[in-house]
Structure 1
Amino acid sequence: MAIVTAQDKHLSVEDSIYFSEPYPYVLPIMGAKVHSVKIRPPLPFGVMVNALAGYQKLALDNMAVGFGNYTNAGSPTMIDISDFVVFDETKAQTSTYNVRLDAWVLPFLNVYGIVGKTKKADININLEKPFPLSVSTEVTGTYVGYGAMLAGAVGPVFVSLDGNQTYSYNPRLDKPAKISLAGLRTGPVFKFNSKPEMNVSFWVGAMYNHFNGDTEGSIGALDLAPDAPAHINEMQTSLDNWYNNLGTVDQIKYAIPYNLLEEGLTRLEDDVENGYINYAFTKAIEHPWNMVVGGQYQYNYHWQLRAEIQFLGDRTAGLFSLNYRFGIRGKNWFSK
């Protein structure tokens, strides 16, 4: 993240020479006007490499299960258990990297595109009621996206508002998963009088995450546990205990799904080698806001290193970035 800041009252020799000549780059629009009041914006184009690792708590909804047999064609009938299913805490552990190409189209507006790959995303889902069931999925895939950032400074303090949207593609998904992020950051920029190209900045802020997606899959009966028949029997016992502990009204209300689950587990136990459980659910983020704390070291106008920690809310992650900036020389667009 390059930061727009006003120049110090006493310019360095290098900056004095820079401002004595016409603005040299095609972007940003109005760059020549900013140049005339001795404000040096970031070099207009950038290539940023980002690496992120962390975990995200997920809220699950619209849970359904079905009991099938590999010897029978067709998909099993799905049983909606959303009203009474109880989950243990669900987390997704993620490791991802991406490349971001950006351009300052205005002195205060940066637009960018993203292409990246999710190296690993482990999602562990544990049902507690009406019967115990553990589902673990490992997801890898590519994603593309776009975004924009508004940024400016008041003296040595900068403020930025960033938003982007990405689309993740995975063979297990019928359509790409859409993820939206928005962040507000502010903090001081510290300059080095002896090295005008160098600075260090720190910031605090808040980030909003929005994600939803449908997940479908299956797990074979033999994969349920090392001793699958005994585990299925344990699932049946847990299902019966759950139903018998319900009040009369709830027993009447959930009689149909209970009987379907009981029949499905019985068929599963009768043919363990060929039986499987289908599952489907919707993932979302229950608490989408979290805090961010970060810092950046700018070695010169071309190179910056950045690190950021995201915490609180349902997301904990660490981000590391390397940014290279450059300019394309030519007449500044829309300048006289």
Structure 2
Amino acid sequence: MKKIFKIQAIFLLLFALLPFSTEAQKGKKASTSDSSYFEKPYPYILPILGDKAHNAKVRLPFPMGIMVNNLVGTQFLSLTDLSLGFGRFSDPNPPNMIDLSEVVEFEDIKAQTSTHNIRIDTWVLPFLNVYGIVGQTKKADINVNLTKPIPLDVSTEVSGTYVGYGLMAAGAVGRLFASLDMNQTFNYNPRLEEPAKVTIFGIRTGPVFKFKNRPQSNVTFWAGAMLTSFNSETTGNIPSLELAPNAPERIQELQGNLDNWYEDLSPADKLKYALIYNRLGEGLDNLGESIQDSYISYSFNKGIENPWNMLIGAQWQLNYRWQIRTEAQFLGDRTAGLFSLNYRFGIKGKNWFSN
């Protein structure tokens, strides 16, 4: 079972490490230097109704953007309802699963990761942004401590890929902006039967500070919160050779730990858990007999005890095309730091649905 739990930890962290958008330019009134810009028709096909905002002398951001994000962080999570099965690759029939939910115990599970992604977005309305995300986890150090029925202290390194989409509504009143963001990601790993899916909601608000002599530049600060939810059930399998590459010594060690757990039970619990003990013992014997042909199937539910996180961030807009931002996520079960570089552009043409 050495790597059974690593997949959940990395995917949950991947879900937590997705970037959010705040457009500090939104709602910004024209400066004197923008006068020539507003004398001409709105030049871009998006956003819809962009020409009306333009005629009202509201300087919209460039409608499209490419953002590169890097994030490092730590995520704590919990696992429940664990079931295991011991199978053979040469046998097409799935193994019978052993329900360990009554006996398994975990200590805190922690994942430390570094990930990067690319986000492409567009403003379809002056207040509504849609985007897509593709990313990869470069490195994730996972620490899992299983205390019963087989004590294991597992530290491993994994990586993975993910894709997703999102929507963001944003607006401003005077110097203060606010945004509400939702995104959903699908995280893939060859060991998982189905991709892990996560939905994240975020809310941000804060002031925009303009530079009097540099109308294209400003600095934005914000604070907010984010909520993470995901499909709780995870199923998959791990080849036994990855679990016990130094078999048979490792198999014998696991069998010894299992025997010690059972011997420490009370007479009543020995009777209650005898079937689990015998089936786990048979499964370990199966691994030892054919380490290269066998595998372990698993199923469990994953969760976050404290799904809400607080966040603070800042953005420096160098000009209308380039922005640099950073954000810190803290409290709850996650701490993370994000750094982003954003480039904005537009496709010229008749503004969609304009008069």
Which bracket does the TM-score occupy, shorter chain normalised?
Answer: 0.7 to 0.9
Q: Distance in 1 between matches of 2:91 and 2:261?
A: 25
Aligned to 2:273: 254
Counterpart-to-counterpart distance in 2, 1:325 and 1:77: 54
Q: Does 1:13 align with 2:32?
A: yes
User: Taking structure 2 as the reference length, what is the TM-score of the superposition?
Assistant: 0.82
CA contact (8 A) 1:115 1:143 kept: yes
Who is 2:110 aligned against? 91
Unaligned runs of 5+ in 1: none
Counterpart position of 2:310? 291
Instruction: Establish whether residue 189 from structure 1 lines up as the match of residue 193 from structure 2.
Output: no
Displacement of 1:251: 4.2
CA gap of 1:22–1:232, structure 2 versus 1, over 3 A, is closer
Within the alignment, does 1:315 sit opposite 2:337 as a pair?
no
What is the Cα-based RMSD across aligned positions, in Å?
2.9
How far off its partner does 1:315 sit? 1.5
226, 236, 257: which one pairs with 1:235?
257
Unaligned regions of 5+ residues in structure 2, if any? Answer: 1-21
Query: Do 2:23 and 2:61's aligned partners in 1 also have CA atoms closer than 8 Å?
Result: yes
Match of 2:296 in 1: 278
Distance 1:73 1:31 in 2: 59
For residues 95 and 192 of structure 2, the distance between their equivalents in structure 1, rounded to whole angstroms, comes to 19
For residues 269 and 43 of structure 1, the distance between their equivalents in structure 2, rounded to whole angstroms, comes to 59
The change in CA–CA distance for 1:236 and 1:277 in structure 2 (over 3 A counts) is farther
Task: Report what 2:19 is aligned to.
Answer: none
Q: Residue in 1 aligned with 2:162?
A: 143
Equivalent position SS for 2:181:
strand
Give the structure 2 partner of residue 161 of structure 1: 180
- Whether contact under 8 Å (2:240, 2:287) holds in the other structure is no
Residues paired across the two proteins, number = 330
Kindly name which structure, 1 or 2, has the bigger radius of gyration based on alpha carbons: 1
Amino acid at match of 2:260: S
**Residue 30 of structure 1, aligned match among 49, 68, 76:** 49
Q: Report if aligned partners of 1:130, 1:242 keep a CA contact under 8 Å in 2.
A: no
- Over 3 Å counting, the alpha-carbon distance change for 1:274 and 1:49 in structure 2 is closer
Conserved 8 A contact 1:52-1:320: yes
Once the two structures are TM-superposed, the CA of residue 107 in structure 1 deviates from its matched residue by 0.7
TM-score, with normalisation over the residues of structure 1?
A: 0.87
- CA shift for structure 1 position 54: 1.3
Give the CA deviation at 1:258: 2.6
Partner of 1:258, secondary structure, is helix
Report whether the alignment pairs 1:133 with 2:152.
yes
The partner residue of 2:237 within 208, 216, 228 is 216
Once residues 263 and 230 of structure 1 are traced to their aligned partners in structure 2, the CA distance between those partners, rounded to angstroms, is: 12
Alpha-carbon distance change, 236 to 22 in structure 1, aligned in 2, over 3 angstroms = closer
| Shift, 1:226, TM fit | 10
CA contact under 8 A between 2:49 and 2:353: conserved in structure 1?
Answer: yes
The residue identity in structure 2 corresponding to 1:236 is L
Instruction: Classify 1:215/1:328 alpha carbon distance in 2 versus 1 (closer, same or farther; 3 Å).
Output: same
- Spell out, residue by residue over 1:53-112, the C-alpha distance to the aligned partner (whole angstroms, 9 max, x if none): 212212112312345689999765432111221012112222221111111111100011
Confirm or deny: 8 A CA contact 1:216 1:280 kept in the other structure.
yes
Distance in structure 1 (CA, Å) of the matches to 2:228 and 2:236 = 19
Q: How far apart, CA to CA, are the structure 1 residues paired with 2:247 and 2:224? A: 45
CA 1:301 to 1:69, structure 2 compared with 1: closer, same or farther past 3 Å? closer
Amino acid at match of 2:333: D
1:222 and 1:272 in contact (8 A); partners too: no
Partner of 1:121: 140
